[in-house]
Amino acid sequence: MFSIEQLQAFVATVEAGSFSAAARGLSKAQSVISQHIINLEIDCNATLFERTGRYPQLTEAGKQLLPQAKAVLNQHQRLTNSALALNEKTPTEITIALDEGIPFKTIASIISKLQSKYPYVSLEFLSASSHDIIDMLNSEKLITGIIFSELNIPSYLDYECIGTVKFDLYVAKSHPLAGIRCENMDGLRLHRQLLLRSRNTQTSSFQLKISPEIWYADNYFVLLELAIQGNGWCLLPNHVALDAVQSGELVKLPLEFEEMGWLANVDVLQHQRHSNQKVFKALRSVLRGLL
């Protein structure tokens, strides 16, 4: 019977690179890890690590077993989180963080729907970058976050897609690009690009650098203003650009080649430890109708 401790020793060894390092990481004696791995190998009737060199190397069998072991540990972590959640009461205040660029005009509708069910819960909204939101969820300063889909969401966060936001390329009406039809990407490279970069300097996966000359801003409304003033072209969520387009200050870039705009998926994230609570299920359910 594989025990959780054995599996932890196994996965920790793979991640730390050696039995000793795994032991340090798990605050155990090195001999304990060694024994766990040996027992695991006996149970599997297979060698999991090649021990010729200084550092143990995963064998083929080890590679096959690793994802299964991780899956058990993930599920075990989820169980632990659920158990912790059993002792929590419905919170009196819920903080919802939104990635900049997600339309919040319609969010007022959440309040009424959720308040009818949970009249004593107060809501607080704040705006932050995806990375900051994930950090806050991680440290449990925050329980619900709404961000554009990121590839790497930590396994202790639950998420579900609640809709999409359309992005397009925009430029000021007075800008040279507004008059011509670009036949390929090179047309864009000749002009300055306006790009989002959040405080922690990591640009998001869909904020691609295309032009060699780039100006950065840390939120979409500054980008919008820069674009309106003719400082360059820019990828913006449609709802951010809407007013300026209607007033004629901004135009969608006329493009010959492939459609450059796209639909960004919007996810709602919650820490596993809380995502099963009724009030948060209700919140997610309400959010699903948001976009």
Partner DNA sequence: TAAACATATCGCTTTTCCCGATACTAAGTA
Partner DNA sequence: TACTTAGTATCGGGAAAAGCGATATGTTTA
Would you tell me how many other CB atoms lie within 10 Å of the CB of residue 263?
10
| Chain centroid offset of residue 136 CA | 12
> Are 192 and 182 a contacting pair, CB within 8 Å?
no
What φ, ψ does residue 229 adopt, rounded to 5°?
A: -80, 5
> Which residues pair with residue 157 across a beta bridge?
271
> Should residue 2 be labelled a site residue for a second copy when binding is judged by CB under 8 A?
yes
Residue 155, classed as helix, strand or coil, is coil
* 76 is an interface residue for a second copy by CB under 8 A: yes
83 binds, among a second copy, DNA, none (CB under 5 to 8 A by kind): a second copy
Q: Which does 55 bind (CB under 5 to 8 A by kind): DNA, a second copy, none?
A: DNA
Asked if 217 and 223 count as a contact pair (C-beta separation under 8 A), the reply is yes
Considering CB distances under 5 to 8 angstroms, the limit depending on partner class, which of DNA, a second copy, none binds residue 207?
none
Helix, strand, coil % in the chain, rounded to nearest 5 = 45, 25, 35
Q: List the x/- string, 215-254, binding to a second copy by CB under 8 A.
A: ----------------------------------------
Which of a second copy, DNA, none lies near 127, with the C-beta cut-off 5 to 8 A by kind?
none
Closer by beta carbon to DNA, 55 or else 125: 55
Among 16, 72, 107, 291, binds a second copy (CB under 8 A): 72
Residues that bind DNA in the complex, under the rule CB under 7 A: 3, 5, 13, 17-21, 27-32, 34-39, 51-56
Q: Among residues 46, 107, 123, 157, which is the contact residue for a second copy, using CB under 8 A? A: 46
How many residues in the shown chain lie near a second copy by CB under 8 A?
Answer: 29
Q: Give the β-pairing of 93-99 and 122-128.
A: parallel
3-class DSSP state of 59: coil
Helix (H) or strand (E) holding 122: strand 122-128
Tell me: does residue 276 bind a second copy (CB under 8 A).
yes
Distance separating alpha carbons of residues 77 and 151, to the nearest angstrom: 21
Q: Which of 234, 193, 198, 237 is nearest to 215 (CA)?
A: 193
Q: Does 23 interact with a second copy (rule: CB under 8 A)? A: no
| Helices 108-117 and 278-287: angle between axes, nearest 10 degrees | 150
Q: Which does 34 bind (CB under 5 to 8 A by kind): DNA, a second copy, none?
A: DNA
- Cβ proximity to a second copy: between 5 and 218 the closer is 5
Cα angle 153, 262, 168; round to 5: 120
Q: What's the min distance (Å) between Cβ of 121 and DNA?
A: 36
Do you know the residue count of the chain?
291
For position 65 contacting a second copy by CB under 8 A, the verdict is yes
Q: Of the two residues 61 and 260, which places its CB atom closer to a second copy in the complex?
A: 61
Give the CA diameter of the chain: 74
E-assigned strand segments in 101-256: 122-128, 144-148, 157-172, 193-196, 214-217, 233-237, 250-252
Question: Applying CB under 8 A, does 61 fall inside the site for a second copy?
Answer: yes
Based on the shown chain and the rule CB under 8 A, indicate whether residue 138 belongs to the binding site for a second copy.
no
* Interface stretch with a second copy, choices 38-46, 166-174, 183-191, 228-236 (CB under 8 A): 38-46
Q: Which does 51 bind (CB under 5 to 8 A by kind): a second copy, DNA, none?
A: DNA
Chain residues binding a second copy by CB under 8 A are 1-5, 7, 43-46, 61, 64-65, 68-69, 71-72, 74-76, 78-80, 82-83, 85-87, 276
